[in-house]
Chains A and B, each alone.
Chain A
Protein backbone atom coordinates (compact mmCIF):
# COMPACT_ATOMS: atom_id res chain seq x y z
CA UNK A 1 0.00 0.00 0.00
CA UNK A 2 1.59 3.23 -1.11
CA UNK A 3 0.91 6.54 0.53
CA UNK A 4 -0.37 9.24 -1.80
CA UNK A 5 0.75 12.46 -0.19
CA UNK A 6 -0.42 14.40 -3.24
CA UNK A 7 -3.79 14.60 -1.57
CA UNK A 8 -2.52 17.48 0.55
CA UNK A 9 -1.96 19.59 -2.57
CA UNK A 10 -5.53 19.16 -3.73
CA UNK A 11 -8.03 21.95 -3.62
CA UNK A 12 -10.61 21.46 -0.86
CA UNK A 13 -13.48 22.56 -3.12
CA UNK A 14 -13.07 20.68 -6.41
CA UNK A 15 -10.26 18.22 -5.65
CA UNK A 16 -8.00 19.68 -8.37
CA UNK A 17 -4.29 19.91 -7.63
CA UNK A 18 -3.26 23.46 -6.75
CA UNK A 19 0.07 24.83 -7.94
CA UNK A 20 1.05 26.63 -4.75
CA UNK A 21 0.91 23.65 -2.45
CA UNK A 22 3.91 24.39 -0.28
CA UNK A 23 3.38 28.11 -0.16
CA UNK A 24 0.93 27.23 2.56
CA UNK A 25 3.85 26.37 4.80
CA UNK A 26 5.09 29.95 4.60
CA UNK A 27 1.95 31.93 3.84
CA UNK A 28 0.03 30.18 6.65
CA UNK A 29 -3.10 29.41 4.72
CA UNK A 30 -3.89 32.76 3.15
CA UNK A 31 -4.53 31.23 -0.27
CA UNK A 32 -7.73 32.01 -2.12
CA UNK A 33 -8.32 28.37 -3.06
CA UNK A 34 -7.05 26.49 -0.03
CA UNK A 35 -5.48 23.05 -0.35
CA UNK A 36 -5.84 20.29 2.21
CA UNK A 37 -2.41 21.29 3.49
CA UNK A 38 -3.72 24.79 4.21
CA UNK A 39 -6.69 23.30 6.00
CA UNK A 40 -4.49 20.91 7.97
CA UNK A 41 -2.24 23.70 9.21
CA UNK A 42 -5.21 25.86 10.12
CA UNK A 43 -6.69 22.94 12.07
CA UNK A 44 -3.36 22.51 13.86
CA UNK A 45 -3.55 26.17 14.83
CA UNK A 46 -7.00 25.60 16.33
CA UNK A 47 -5.75 22.61 18.29
CA UNK A 48 -2.86 24.66 19.66
CA UNK A 49 -5.18 27.55 20.52
CA UNK A 50 -7.70 25.33 22.33
CA UNK A 51 -5.00 23.39 24.16
CA UNK A 52 -2.91 26.47 24.98
CA UNK A 53 -5.77 28.39 26.56
CA UNK A 54 -6.89 25.21 28.34
CA UNK A 55 -3.40 24.63 29.68
CA UNK A 56 -3.23 28.16 31.08
CA UNK A 57 -6.56 27.69 32.90
CA UNK A 58 -5.58 24.21 34.10
CA UNK A 59 -2.22 25.26 35.53
CA UNK A 60 -3.55 28.30 37.38
CA UNK A 61 -6.65 26.58 38.80
CA UNK A 62 -4.84 23.31 39.44
CA UNK A 63 -2.05 24.97 41.41
CA UNK A 64 -4.60 27.01 43.40
CA UNK A 65 -6.90 24.06 44.19
CA UNK A 66 -4.02 21.72 45.00
CA UNK A 67 -2.58 24.30 47.41
CA UNK A 68 -5.93 24.92 49.10
CA UNK A 69 -6.39 21.18 49.69
CA UNK A 70 -3.28 21.13 51.89
CA UNK A 71 -4.18 24.14 54.07
CA UNK A 72 -3.50 23.50 57.77
CA UNK A 73 -6.58 23.44 59.99
CA UNK A 74 -6.46 26.95 61.47
CA UNK A 75 -10.15 27.64 61.82
CA UNK A 76 -13.45 27.61 60.06
CA UNK A 77 -12.43 29.44 56.90
CA UNK A 78 -9.55 27.09 56.20
CA UNK A 79 -11.80 24.07 56.68
CA UNK A 80 -14.31 25.53 54.22
CA UNK A 81 -11.55 26.13 51.67
CA UNK A 82 -10.24 22.58 52.05
CA UNK A 83 -13.75 21.19 51.55
CA UNK A 84 -14.43 23.42 48.56
CA UNK A 85 -11.23 22.45 46.81
CA UNK A 86 -11.82 18.75 47.56
CA UNK A 87 -15.31 19.01 46.07
CA UNK A 88 -13.83 20.78 43.04
CA UNK A 89 -11.38 17.97 42.40
CA UNK A 90 -13.98 15.21 42.85
CA UNK A 91 -16.51 16.99 40.64
CA UNK A 92 -14.23 17.61 37.68
CA UNK A 93 -12.38 14.31 37.95
CA UNK A 94 -15.41 12.04 37.88
CA UNK A 95 -17.22 13.32 34.78
CA UNK A 96 -15.86 12.32 31.36
CA UNK A 97 -14.23 15.16 29.44
CA UNK A 98 -16.62 14.80 26.52
CA UNK A 99 -19.63 15.19 28.84
CA UNK A 100 -17.98 18.25 30.41
CA UNK A 101 -17.48 19.76 26.96
CA UNK A 102 -21.18 19.23 26.21
CA UNK A 103 -22.09 20.80 29.57
CA UNK A 104 -20.05 23.91 28.82
CA UNK A 105 -21.34 24.12 25.28
CA UNK A 106 -25.02 23.24 25.60
CA UNK A 107 -26.01 23.58 29.26
CA UNK A 108 -24.07 26.25 31.12
CA UNK A 109 -24.68 29.07 28.59
CA UNK A 110 -28.40 28.45 29.06
CA UNK A 111 -27.99 29.38 32.74
CA UNK A 112 -25.33 32.06 32.32
CA UNK A 113 -26.40 34.00 29.19
CA UNK A 114 -23.20 36.14 28.96
CA UNK A 115 -21.34 32.94 28.04
CA UNK A 116 -23.35 32.77 24.82
CA UNK A 117 -21.18 35.44 23.23
CA UNK A 118 -18.03 33.40 23.87
CA UNK A 119 -16.60 31.66 20.80
CA UNK A 120 -17.13 27.92 21.09
CA UNK A 121 -13.43 27.15 21.34
CA UNK A 122 -13.22 29.22 24.54
CA UNK A 123 -15.88 27.02 26.09
CA UNK A 124 -13.95 23.90 25.10
CA UNK A 125 -10.80 25.42 26.59
CA UNK A 126 -12.64 26.12 29.83
CA UNK A 127 -13.93 22.53 29.90
CA UNK A 128 -10.45 21.14 29.23
CA UNK A 129 -8.90 23.51 31.73
CA UNK A 130 -11.31 22.62 34.55
CA UNK A 131 -11.07 18.88 33.81
CA UNK A 132 -7.26 18.95 33.82
CA UNK A 133 -7.10 21.31 36.83
CA UNK A 134 -8.58 18.53 38.99
CA UNK A 135 -5.75 16.21 37.96
CA UNK A 136 -3.09 18.89 38.36
CA UNK A 137 -4.48 19.76 41.80
CA UNK A 138 -3.89 16.16 42.88
CA UNK A 139 -0.29 16.32 41.66
CA UNK A 140 0.32 19.64 43.39
CA UNK A 141 -1.19 18.33 46.61
CA UNK A 142 1.05 15.25 46.43
CA UNK A 143 4.05 17.51 45.78
CA UNK A 144 3.29 19.68 48.80
CA UNK A 145 2.71 16.66 51.02
CA UNK A 146 5.98 15.13 49.83
CA UNK A 147 7.92 17.98 51.46
CA UNK A 148 9.38 17.22 54.87
CA UNK A 149 6.97 18.53 57.51
CA UNK A 150 9.89 20.41 59.08
CA UNK A 151 9.68 22.96 56.24
CA UNK A 152 6.27 24.14 57.34
CA UNK A 153 7.20 23.95 61.00
CA UNK A 154 10.33 26.03 60.40
CA UNK A 155 8.34 28.65 58.49
CA UNK A 156 5.87 28.88 61.36
CA UNK A 157 8.70 29.12 63.89
CA UNK A 158 10.12 32.07 61.94
CA UNK A 159 6.81 33.83 62.49
CA UNK A 160 5.57 33.58 58.90
CA UNK A 161 1.83 33.63 58.38
CA UNK A 162 0.19 30.76 56.48
CA UNK A 163 0.14 32.79 53.27
CA UNK A 164 3.78 33.79 53.70
CA UNK A 165 4.93 30.24 54.44
CA UNK A 166 3.21 28.98 51.29
CA UNK A 167 4.49 31.88 49.21
CA UNK A 168 8.12 31.82 50.33
CA UNK A 169 8.80 28.32 51.64
CA UNK A 170 6.42 25.59 50.52
CA UNK A 171 5.30 26.48 47.00
CA UNK A 172 8.74 27.34 45.60
CA UNK A 173 9.85 23.81 46.47
CA UNK A 174 6.61 21.93 45.76
CA UNK A 175 6.04 23.50 42.34
CA UNK A 176 9.52 22.45 41.25
CA UNK A 177 8.92 18.90 42.42
CA UNK A 178 5.69 18.55 40.46
CA UNK A 179 7.07 19.64 37.07
CA UNK A 180 7.50 16.03 35.77
CA UNK A 181 3.90 14.94 36.54
CA UNK A 182 2.66 18.30 35.23
CA UNK A 183 4.49 17.57 31.99
CA UNK A 184 2.52 14.40 31.43
CA UNK A 185 -0.74 16.13 32.39
CA UNK A 186 0.02 18.89 29.88
CA UNK A 187 0.64 16.30 27.18
CA UNK A 188 -2.63 14.62 28.14
CA UNK A 189 -4.39 17.96 27.75
CA UNK A 190 -3.14 18.30 24.19
CA UNK A 191 -4.39 14.80 23.42
CA UNK A 192 -7.71 15.46 25.17
CA UNK A 193 -8.23 18.62 23.11
CA UNK A 194 -9.29 16.25 20.34
CA UNK A 195 -12.75 16.10 21.95
CA UNK A 196 -13.36 19.60 20.60
CA UNK A 197 -14.51 17.94 17.38
CA UNK A 198 -17.79 17.11 19.13
CA UNK A 199 -18.81 20.77 19.28
CA UNK A 200 -17.53 21.57 15.78
CA UNK A 201 -14.34 23.43 16.65
CA UNK A 202 -12.42 23.09 13.35
CA UNK A 203 -9.37 21.45 14.97
CA UNK A 204 -7.24 18.49 13.89
CA UNK A 205 -9.66 15.67 14.74
CA UNK A 206 -12.57 17.33 13.00
CA UNK A 207 -10.28 17.96 10.02
CA UNK A 208 -9.31 14.28 10.05
CA UNK A 209 -12.94 13.16 10.03
CA UNK A 210 -14.08 15.58 7.33
CA UNK A 211 -11.05 15.31 5.06
CA UNK A 212 -11.14 11.52 5.30
CA UNK A 213 -14.71 11.51 4.07
CA UNK A 214 -14.07 13.98 1.25
CA UNK A 215 -10.85 12.52 -0.12
CA UNK A 216 -11.07 8.81 0.82
CA UNK A 217 -7.35 9.12 1.55
CA UNK A 218 -7.92 8.38 5.22
CA UNK A 219 -4.54 6.83 5.94
CA UNK A 220 -2.56 9.84 4.68
CA UNK A 221 -4.86 12.31 6.44
CA UNK A 222 -4.85 10.42 9.75
CA UNK A 223 -1.10 9.94 9.58
CA UNK A 224 -0.52 13.69 9.17
CA UNK A 225 -2.93 14.52 12.01
CA UNK A 226 -1.41 11.89 14.31
CA UNK A 227 2.09 13.19 13.63
CA UNK A 228 1.02 16.76 14.42
CA UNK A 229 -0.51 15.66 17.72
CA UNK A 230 2.66 13.76 18.60
CA UNK A 231 4.79 16.75 17.57
CA UNK A 232 2.71 19.14 19.71
CA UNK A 233 2.91 16.86 22.73
CA UNK A 234 6.64 16.44 22.22
CA UNK A 235 7.11 20.22 22.01
CA UNK A 236 5.32 20.61 25.36
CA UNK A 237 7.52 17.88 26.79
CA UNK A 238 10.70 19.71 25.69
CA UNK A 239 9.38 23.07 26.90
CA UNK A 240 8.64 21.65 30.35
CA UNK A 241 12.05 19.96 30.47
CA UNK A 242 13.59 23.36 29.69
CA UNK A 243 11.56 25.02 32.45
CA UNK A 244 12.56 22.28 34.87
CA UNK A 245 16.22 22.76 34.02
CA UNK A 246 16.10 26.55 34.22
CA UNK A 247 14.19 26.62 37.50
CA UNK A 248 16.44 24.09 39.22
CA UNK A 249 18.35 25.48 42.17
CA UNK A 250 21.67 23.68 42.72
CA UNK A 251 21.72 21.79 46.00
CA UNK A 252 18.23 22.92 46.90
CA UNK A 253 16.22 19.94 45.79
CA UNK A 254 17.61 16.55 44.87
CA UNK A 255 17.07 15.69 41.19
CA UNK A 256 13.64 14.11 40.89
CA UNK A 257 14.51 11.64 38.15
CA UNK A 258 15.18 8.82 40.61
CA UNK A 259 11.65 7.53 40.37
CA UNK A 260 9.76 6.90 43.57
CA UNK A 261 12.17 8.87 45.71
CA UNK A 262 9.44 10.92 47.30
Chain B
Protein backbone atom coordinates (compact mmCIF):
# COMPACT_ATOMS: atom_id res chain seq x y z
CA UNK B 1 0.00 0.00 0.00
CA UNK B 2 1.44 3.30 -0.95
CA UNK B 3 1.27 6.28 1.31
CA UNK B 4 0.73 9.84 0.26
CA UNK B 5 3.25 12.49 1.15
CA UNK B 6 1.98 15.98 0.55
CA UNK B 7 4.75 17.74 2.48
CA UNK B 8 6.49 18.71 -0.76
CA UNK B 9 3.53 20.93 -1.62
CA UNK B 10 4.52 24.29 -0.22
CA UNK B 11 4.16 27.95 -1.05
CA UNK B 12 7.29 27.96 -3.16
CA UNK B 13 6.05 25.16 -5.39
CA UNK B 14 2.72 26.90 -5.69
CA UNK B 15 4.18 30.21 -6.85
CA UNK B 16 6.76 28.55 -9.11
CA UNK B 17 4.53 26.09 -10.95
CA UNK B 18 0.85 26.35 -10.14
CA UNK B 19 0.16 30.09 -9.99
CA UNK B 20 1.24 30.70 -13.61
CA UNK B 21 -1.05 27.94 -14.83
CA UNK B 22 -3.95 29.03 -12.64
CA UNK B 23 -3.67 32.59 -13.94
CA UNK B 24 -3.67 31.37 -17.54
CA UNK B 25 -6.71 29.13 -16.95
CA UNK B 26 -8.61 32.00 -15.31
CA UNK B 27 -7.54 34.44 -18.01
CA UNK B 28 -8.63 32.01 -20.72
CA UNK B 29 -11.98 31.52 -18.97
CA UNK B 30 -12.57 35.28 -18.67
CA UNK B 31 -11.59 36.06 -22.27
CA UNK B 32 -13.66 33.18 -23.61
CA UNK B 33 -16.69 34.16 -21.52
CA UNK B 34 -16.61 37.84 -22.46
CA UNK B 35 -15.68 37.24 -26.11
CA UNK B 36 -18.05 34.30 -26.36
CA UNK B 37 -21.00 36.30 -25.01
CA UNK B 38 -20.28 39.22 -27.39
CA UNK B 39 -19.88 37.08 -30.52
CA UNK B 40 -22.55 34.67 -29.32
CA UNK B 41 -25.05 37.54 -29.04
CA UNK B 42 -24.29 38.57 -32.63
CA UNK B 43 -24.69 34.97 -33.79
CA UNK B 44 -28.01 34.72 -31.95
CA UNK B 45 -29.24 38.01 -33.44
CA UNK B 46 -28.22 36.77 -36.90
CA UNK B 47 -30.18 33.55 -36.40
CA UNK B 48 -33.24 35.40 -35.13
CA UNK B 49 -33.08 38.15 -37.79
CA UNK B 50 -35.33 36.23 -40.17
CA UNK B 51 -32.99 37.05 -43.08
CA UNK B 52 -31.72 33.80 -44.66
CA UNK B 53 -28.44 35.42 -45.74
CA UNK B 54 -27.66 36.09 -42.07
CA UNK B 55 -29.43 33.18 -40.41
CA UNK B 56 -28.00 30.29 -42.48
CA UNK B 57 -24.29 31.07 -42.04
CA UNK B 58 -24.81 31.59 -38.30
CA UNK B 59 -26.79 28.35 -37.96
CA UNK B 60 -24.18 26.47 -39.96
CA UNK B 61 -21.35 27.84 -37.80
CA UNK B 62 -23.09 27.05 -34.50
CA UNK B 63 -24.12 23.52 -35.50
CA UNK B 64 -20.71 22.69 -36.96
CA UNK B 65 -18.76 23.86 -33.92
CA UNK B 66 -21.15 22.10 -31.55
CA UNK B 67 -20.78 18.76 -33.29
CA UNK B 68 -16.96 18.66 -33.16
CA UNK B 69 -15.05 17.57 -30.03
CA UNK B 70 -13.38 20.55 -28.34
CA UNK B 71 -9.98 18.85 -28.57
CA UNK B 72 -10.38 18.66 -32.34
CA UNK B 73 -11.45 22.33 -32.50
CA UNK B 74 -8.32 23.25 -30.55
CA UNK B 75 -6.19 21.21 -32.97
CA UNK B 76 -7.96 22.68 -36.02
CA UNK B 77 -7.31 26.27 -34.97
CA UNK B 78 -3.74 25.48 -34.03
CA UNK B 79 -3.28 24.08 -37.54
CA UNK B 80 -5.29 26.61 -39.52
CA UNK B 81 -4.38 29.97 -37.97
CA UNK B 82 -0.67 29.72 -38.91
CA UNK B 83 -1.69 28.61 -42.41
CA UNK B 84 -3.93 31.65 -42.82
CA UNK B 85 -1.64 34.32 -41.38
CA UNK B 86 1.51 32.72 -42.69
CA UNK B 87 3.52 32.60 -39.47
CA UNK B 88 3.52 30.40 -36.37
CA UNK B 89 1.35 31.38 -33.43
CA UNK B 90 1.86 30.58 -29.76
CA UNK B 91 -0.21 27.93 -28.03
CA UNK B 92 -1.57 30.53 -25.56
CA UNK B 93 -2.88 32.91 -28.21
CA UNK B 94 -4.19 30.05 -30.31
CA UNK B 95 -6.04 28.64 -27.29
CA UNK B 96 -7.59 32.03 -26.53
CA UNK B 97 -8.86 32.50 -30.11
CA UNK B 98 -10.16 28.91 -30.17
CA UNK B 99 -12.06 29.23 -26.92
CA UNK B 100 -13.69 32.51 -27.92
CA UNK B 101 -14.78 31.02 -31.24
CA UNK B 102 -15.91 27.76 -29.62
CA UNK B 103 -17.79 29.33 -26.72
CA UNK B 104 -19.49 31.84 -29.04
CA UNK B 105 -21.40 28.91 -30.54
CA UNK B 106 -22.55 27.70 -27.11
CA UNK B 107 -23.34 31.15 -25.71
CA UNK B 108 -25.32 31.97 -28.86
CA UNK B 109 -27.68 29.09 -28.07
CA UNK B 110 -28.13 30.41 -24.54
CA UNK B 111 -28.73 33.96 -25.79
CA UNK B 112 -31.17 32.72 -28.42
CA UNK B 113 -33.18 30.86 -25.79
CA UNK B 114 -32.98 33.93 -23.53
CA UNK B 115 -34.27 36.27 -26.24
CA UNK B 116 -37.07 33.86 -27.05
CA UNK B 117 -38.00 33.76 -23.36
CA UNK B 118 -38.84 37.48 -23.44
CA UNK B 119 -42.58 37.84 -24.12
CA UNK B 120 -43.17 38.86 -27.74
CA UNK B 121 -45.40 41.73 -26.59
CA UNK B 122 -42.31 43.52 -25.29
CA UNK B 123 -40.78 43.72 -28.76
CA UNK B 124 -44.11 44.68 -30.35
CA UNK B 125 -44.63 47.43 -27.78
CA UNK B 126 -41.16 48.83 -28.50
CA UNK B 127 -41.92 48.82 -32.21
CA UNK B 128 -45.23 50.57 -31.58
CA UNK B 129 -43.32 53.28 -29.73
CA UNK B 130 -41.33 53.84 -32.91
CA UNK B 131 -38.07 52.26 -31.79
CA UNK B 132 -35.67 50.98 -34.41
CA UNK B 133 -34.54 47.34 -34.38
CA UNK B 134 -31.29 48.40 -32.71
CA UNK B 135 -33.04 50.43 -30.00
CA UNK B 136 -35.53 47.64 -29.46
CA UNK B 137 -32.77 45.10 -28.84
CA UNK B 138 -30.54 47.49 -26.91
CA UNK B 139 -33.13 48.92 -24.51
CA UNK B 140 -36.02 46.46 -24.34
CA UNK B 141 -35.28 42.86 -25.30
CA UNK B 142 -31.63 42.23 -24.44
CA UNK B 143 -31.69 43.70 -20.89
CA UNK B 144 -34.57 41.39 -19.96
CA UNK B 145 -33.07 38.44 -21.80
CA UNK B 146 -29.66 38.82 -20.15
CA UNK B 147 -31.19 38.92 -16.70
CA UNK B 148 -32.88 35.57 -17.35
CA UNK B 149 -29.64 34.18 -18.74
CA UNK B 150 -27.29 35.06 -15.86
CA UNK B 151 -27.45 31.67 -14.08
CA UNK B 152 -27.10 29.73 -17.35
CA UNK B 153 -24.14 31.91 -18.35
CA UNK B 154 -22.45 31.15 -15.06
CA UNK B 155 -23.07 27.41 -15.34
CA UNK B 156 -21.58 27.51 -18.83
CA UNK B 157 -18.59 29.42 -17.44
CA UNK B 158 -17.94 26.67 -14.88
CA UNK B 159 -18.00 24.08 -17.66
CA UNK B 160 -15.72 26.37 -19.65
CA UNK B 161 -13.24 26.58 -16.79
CA UNK B 162 -13.12 22.77 -16.68
CA UNK B 163 -12.71 22.63 -20.45
CA UNK B 164 -9.67 24.91 -20.39
CA UNK B 165 -7.71 21.86 -19.20
CA UNK B 166 -8.01 20.52 -22.76
CA UNK B 167 -5.41 23.00 -24.02
CA UNK B 168 -3.16 20.14 -22.89
CA UNK B 169 -3.52 18.96 -26.49
CA UNK B 170 -1.37 21.82 -27.82
CA UNK B 171 0.88 22.08 -24.78
CA UNK B 172 -0.26 25.45 -23.40
CA UNK B 173 0.70 26.08 -19.77
CA UNK B 174 -2.57 25.94 -17.83
CA UNK B 175 -3.48 24.86 -14.30
CA UNK B 176 -3.33 21.13 -15.09
CA UNK B 177 -0.02 21.51 -16.92
CA UNK B 178 1.39 23.39 -13.93
CA UNK B 179 0.56 20.50 -11.62
CA UNK B 180 1.90 17.97 -14.10
CA UNK B 181 5.26 19.73 -14.50
CA UNK B 182 5.53 20.17 -10.73
CA UNK B 183 4.83 16.46 -10.30
CA UNK B 184 7.54 15.52 -12.80
CA UNK B 185 10.15 17.86 -11.31
CA UNK B 186 9.49 16.71 -7.76
CA UNK B 187 9.04 13.06 -8.74
CA UNK B 188 5.55 13.02 -7.21
CA UNK B 189 3.09 12.56 -10.09
CA UNK B 190 0.42 10.75 -8.06
CA UNK B 191 0.15 13.44 -5.40
CA UNK B 192 0.09 16.28 -7.91
CA UNK B 193 -2.71 14.68 -9.94
CA UNK B 194 -4.75 14.36 -6.74
CA UNK B 195 -3.99 17.98 -5.85
CA UNK B 196 -4.98 19.07 -9.36
CA UNK B 197 -8.31 17.26 -9.03
CA UNK B 198 -8.87 18.77 -5.57
CA UNK B 199 -8.09 22.28 -6.84
CA UNK B 200 -10.48 22.01 -9.77
CA UNK B 201 -13.13 20.50 -7.50
CA UNK B 202 -12.91 23.26 -4.88
CA UNK B 203 -13.09 26.01 -7.52
CA UNK B 204 -15.93 24.49 -9.55
CA UNK B 205 -17.92 23.31 -6.53
CA UNK B 206 -17.83 26.71 -4.82
CA UNK B 207 -18.73 28.47 -8.06
CA UNK B 208 -21.70 26.15 -8.58
CA UNK B 209 -22.90 26.88 -5.03
CA UNK B 210 -22.72 30.61 -5.80
CA UNK B 211 -24.65 30.07 -9.04
CA UNK B 212 -27.42 28.29 -7.14
CA UNK B 213 -27.74 31.27 -4.79
CA UNK B 214 -27.87 33.76 -7.65
CA UNK B 215 -30.40 31.56 -9.41
CA UNK B 216 -32.68 31.75 -6.39
CA UNK B 217 -32.28 35.54 -6.23
CA UNK B 218 -32.98 36.14 -9.90
CA UNK B 219 -35.98 33.83 -9.72
CA UNK B 220 -37.55 35.85 -6.90
CA UNK B 221 -37.06 39.19 -8.63
CA UNK B 222 -38.60 37.85 -11.78
Contacts and interface: CB of A to CB of B under 8 A. Distances in A.
Are these two chains actual partners, yes or no?
A: yes
Interface of A: 90-91, 93-100, 102-103, 106-107, 110-111, 187, 190-195, 197-198, 205, 208-209, 212, 218-219, 222, 225-226, 229-230, 233-234
Given A99-B165, A111-B2, A226 B72 contact: yes
Given A103-B193, A187-B67, 7 more contacts: A96-B163, A97-B162, A99-B193, A103-B194, A195-B166, A198-B168, A208-B75
9 closest A-B pairs by beta carbon, nearest first, are A94-B204, A96-B162, A191-B69, A194-B69, A96-B165, A194-B71, A218-B79, A94-B205, A98-B165
Contact of A103 (B76, B168, B197): B197
Contacts of A106: 189-190, 193
A226 B205 contact: no
Please classify the interface of chain B as helix (H, G, I), strand (E, B), loop, or mixed, using the class held by over half of its residues: helix
A110 B190 contact: yes
A222 B197 contact: no
B200 interface: yes
Contacts, number: 99
A96 to B, nearest CB: 4
Please classify the interface of chain A as helix (H, G, I), strand (E, B), loop, or mixed, using the class held by over half of its residues: helix
Contacts of A226: 68, 72, 76
B194 A197 contact: no
B191 to A, nearest CB: 9
Nearest to B80: A219
Contacts of A103: 193-194, 197
B69 A205 contact: yes
B176 interface: yes
Interface in B155-201: 158, 162-163, 165-166, 168-169, 176, 189-190, 193-194, 196-197, 200-201
A240 to B, nearest CB: 15
Contacts of B67: 187, 191, 229-230, 233-234
B215 interface: no
B75 A94 contact: no
Interface of B: 1-2, 67-72, 75-76, 79-80, 83, 158, 162-163, 165-166, 168-169, 176, 189-190, 193-194, 196-197, 200-201, 204-205, 208
A197 B71 contact: yes
Contacts of A219: 79-80, 83
A99 B72 contact: no
B99 to A, nearest CB: 14
A41 B83 CA distance: 27
Contact of A94 (B1, B163, B189, B201): B201
B106 to A, nearest CB: 12
Contacts of A212: 75, 79
Contacts of B79: 212, 218-219, 222
A94 B200 contact: yes
19 contacts: A93-B208, A94-B204, A98-B176, A99-B193, A99-B196, A100-B197, A103-B193, A103-B194, A107-B193, A191-B70, A194-B69, A194-B71, A195-B166, A205-B169, A219-B79, A225-B72, A229-B68, A230-B67, A234-B67
A190 B70 CA distance: 11
A197 B169 contact: yes
A205 B72 contact: yes
A209 B171 CA distance: 12
A205 B165 contact: no
A72 B198 CA distance: 31
Given A205-B69, A230-B68, A107 B194 contact: yes
Given A99-B165, A100-B197, A195 B72 contact: no
Contact of A96 (B80, B190, B200): B200
Contacts of B166: 96, 98, 195
B219 to A, nearest CB: 16
B17 to A, nearest CB: 16
